[in-house]
Chain A
Amino acid sequence: MSTGEASTQATRIAAEQTDAAPAPSNHVGQALRRKEDPRLITGKGTYVDDINLTGQLWAAWVRSPEAHAKIVSIDTSQAKARDGVRAVYTHEDLDIEASLPMAWVPPGIEVNTPDHWVLAKGEVKHVGDPVALVVGDDRYEVFDAAEDVIVEYDPLPVVTDPEKALESDSPVIHEQFATNKVSEWSLGGGDLEAGFAEADVVVERRIVNHRIAGAAIEPRGVLADFRADRLTVWSSTQIPHLLRPFLSMLLGISEDRVRVIAPEVGGGFGSKLQVYAEEVGCAWASRKLGRPVKWIETRSEGMMVTHHGRDQIDTVRVGAKRDGTITAWHSKILADIGAYQMFFTPMIPELSAFVMCGVYKTPAVQTDVVNVMTNKFPTDAIRGAGRPEATHMIEVTMDQLAQELDMDPLELRRKNFIPPFSEGHETPIGVVYDSGNYELALNKLLEHIDPAKVRQEAAELRERGIYRGIGFCTYTEICGNAPSRIVGPSGFGVQGGGWESAAVRVHASGAVTLYTGTSPHGQGHETGFAQIVADRLGIDPAQVDVIHGDTQAGPWGLDTYGSRTLAVGGEAAARAAGKVAAKAREIVAHQLEADPADIELREGRFSVRGSPDKGMTLSEVAGAAYAPENIPEGMEPGLDEQSFYDPENFVFPFGAHACVVDVDAETGKIDVVRYVAVDDCGPAINPMLIDGQVHGGIVHGVGQALYERIHYDQDGQLVTGSFVDYALPTAAEMPSFETDRTETPSPVNSLRVKGVGEAGTIAASPTVTNAVIDALRPLGVTFINMPLSPMRVWEAIQEAKGGVAA
């Protein structure tokens, strides 16, 4: 591990010891090996496709090959006549009254939201739009039967370019709106006009943040079993708890009779934060047929119909004084959100606006978002969800501004940094950053990488035709969603809350179960949460069994996305454990005739301060609580507590990243030579897990910058529809990473933590882009948009040379 433990310690401020955080910290902060790994490394994990039920049927979907068309007819007779086919359904067969959910209703803003049915009604709007559902006995044969469903389409004009989609002569995707425009939304603060008037220079850039996929390696999958008036759904989802009420509503089954289980989930990255047609359709079919129904997505299907992310055209204007002082920032976001709106589709671009000040003092800032529909699959949250787009535009534009001012890009950043703060900093738009020390993170980064040295190497390499560049990004992001007061229906407009639940059950033997309402899919919460709970109860993390992803196992929860799990769910776990500990102290005090205030946790025992030999272990306390002949008068038996925690504010992780790239000017090929990341997510619960999140996050961002692109052609055909065409980074393209941390505590929660699941992705794409532009500058290239494919880089070089790019 390249983490500078010692120097990290130096910047660490110990968590305050409150009742919710009495942590004597034996385990918190340690890089413990993961509790979840033994089953996963031996092939004993249970993902959806590993579960099979007696009598189970298989589902396959007939999907539109057209991007926009009227459905003239659907002939299911041949498919139905096949042996082993139990049913073929089209829209008319499904008695599902409501459309798939969309959860954003911002007060005072009109959002043109079309109906989005489980099976297309009358028209298809994108390639892959499902038109029929085939259910049969055999995994392979349902695919054969799906091919026998004959659908006649009458093609309609297609639009895939979001700018064209806004023109008056564009084909309209949903006629009832007479426009493809979905919504207009703005967030600003400060005097923008005055800011630009004051500026000596104004830099404007058109920054394209192209469409990408989540591409979790486990495809989606559903197994639905309706029996005896109860529905059980196993789904490869990030949101079992949120899925449950929608299944209940759409199918008319009382919520208490719907159980959703997210078993082992093989990655999500936002793409499984969704209420998908396939989940509802399989559940409906199971009830209809009285048999369990299973569907496992193929990868080619997944590329088509698992939501995409990003896809913005951003027009950014920044004004600054000659000395580099930023005076105004204006971003216009045109977001291509695809043909329908899924769970959070039209809301994601707006999330960019919340951090459009970045880490800089900005007297005036405004973000205007226009959402537009095209004949593509909807976008929604993908790792970072709005913040990678914001950070990309801010940080790429900062380098462009530095170029314009002929200033060192780091000097420009330092000049504008918000000074260190520990108890909140309000930006002009009214967002209150919780804590930050951006200079500290940048200084730490520069302990690992010396830009002057890289520039010297670059000069030497140039003689050999290799163009080396270095790029930086200093970022903050917003996560830990969410304070219900801020995001809720009368605030930002999310139709729900942002709290999280946890329940800590101490069994009679002293064994402990933590139930968390978050729903991990690789992050390692079973380990991190066990560390938090163990320290509060004086036991070993191995004794804490962490249960998640089953709506029947604990209180309702709000699941995992947006780097919320630790800052919200972890805090709930700490509070629930704190309640158990408080009750334990009272029982111990009662039994040992001491004052509860004098009971402390020491070496695994609740003991009387000053007389460490007088004390009880957790299992002794549990014995007393469940055989309650000697507990305080009026106390209820048992040792089982829960917490619902609604945060006061978001948390704002930050950091500084640097990347060194080599560009081959002859071919346009880019090599990532070094990548250094310093991230600050508050005090570490488990530093190993943080590093893992950062590594994976970086590759998602580097992947977007260099390789990955969801690309539709003019006809709305998906060109990058499999792993052959959609270029996920492999081990061969990536370097090893150098990571370090600073630890600036958050004032928001008692753990003092912030999230880290998306930070790497948020920082990486501008870091890489800036490095590539830096490398190409001697060739006359001063700006370039992602994805930085060899072709695009080569073309930019030719263009700069004055030649005509092919």
Chain B
Amino acid sequence: MSKTVAVQLQVNGATHRLEVEPRLLLVHALRDNLGFTGTHVGCDTSNCGACTVHMEGRAVKSCTVLAVQADGAQITTIEGMASDGQLHPLQEAFWNDHGLQCGYCTPGMIMAAAALLAENPNPTEDEVRHGLEGNLCRCTGYHNIVKAVLDAAKTKGATVAQQPEVTA
């Protein structure tokens, strides 16, 4: 085992301290070390977006970030999107609109969509489609994903990331 580095991550509002190899990917730190298995891995080339989380309020592909690079950062994962038993409007919209089938791309899609709506609260269909270009789905043909994001945009509160206050 090569030497490890101490890292502190704020995930969904809670502080986690861990010792990691410098090469450990953030996605594996979240999944394997901390148990946030809602964040998925679908590729090894930063193409699929299944691993998308929010870091300091921005959507990042957590397979492309080292855990050590995230030291001290505020991270929101899919597990942090619902609060007090209340689904995030995007989660609700994905459910209502059948925006998922196998569900594997879904956490990444929701996180990417949340970042998109935070930047552009009233997107056109075309803007949603281009905004989600970095997230692959093999099941839905995107039709209902796009519909869900557009529907969520009409819902109050959709543009607010549930967790935590952004200080970047």
Contacts and interface: CB of A to CB of B under 8 A. Distances in A.
Give the interface centre of A38, A42, A215, A218 by most chain B CB atoms within 10 Å.
A42
B103 A522 contact: yes
Nearest to B136: A728
B28 interface: yes
B141 A734 contact: yes
B165 interface: no
Interface in B88-147: 91, 94-96, 98, 100-107, 110, 125, 128-130, 132-147
B146 A140 contact: no
A737 B103 contact: no
Find the residue from B78, B79, B125, B143 having the highest chain A CB count within 10 A: B143
A689 B98 contact: yes
B81 A215 contact: no
A723 B48 contact: yes
Contacts, number: 188
Contact of A267 (B104, B128, B146): B104
B55 interface: no
Interface centre among A265, A300, A688, A730 (most CB of B within 10 A): A730
B74 interface: no
A699 interface: yes
B40 A40 contact: no
A677 B102 CA distance: 22
A269 B102 CA distance: 11
Interface string A263-280: 011110100000000000
Nearest to A38: B95
A158 to B, nearest CB: 26
B139 A522 contact: yes
Given A215-B138, A731-B133, A299 B102 contact: no
B43 interface: yes
B45 interface: yes
B32 interface: yes
Interface string A26-64: 000000011011111111111101101000000000000
B95 A49 contact: no
Given A300-B44, A521-B102, A522-B102, A267 B87 contact: no
Interface in A200-250: 214-219
B50 interface: yes
B45 A723 contact: yes
Contact of B50 (A39, A217, A524): A217
Contacts of B130: 731-732
A41 B130 CA distance: 22
B47 A723 contact: yes
B103 A266 contact: yes
A729 B137 CA distance: 9
Given A33-B95, A37-B95, A216 B138 contact: yes
Contact of B141 (A38, A139, A699): A699
Interface string A533-576: 00000000000000000000000000000000000000000000
Q: Which 3 A-B pairs have the closest CB atoms?
A: A43-B38, A266-B104, A522-B102
Given A37-B95, A40-B103, A218-B40, 10 more contacts: A43-B77, A43-B79, A44-B38, A49-B41, A141-B1, A217-B137, A269-B138, A692-B139, A700-B138, A730-B134
19 contacts: A33-B95, A36-B103, A42-B87, A44-B79, A45-B104, A46-B37, A49-B41, A52-B32, A217-B42, A217-B136, A264-B104, A689-B98, A691-B144, A692-B139, A695-B144, A722-B43, A722-B45, A722-B47, A724-B47
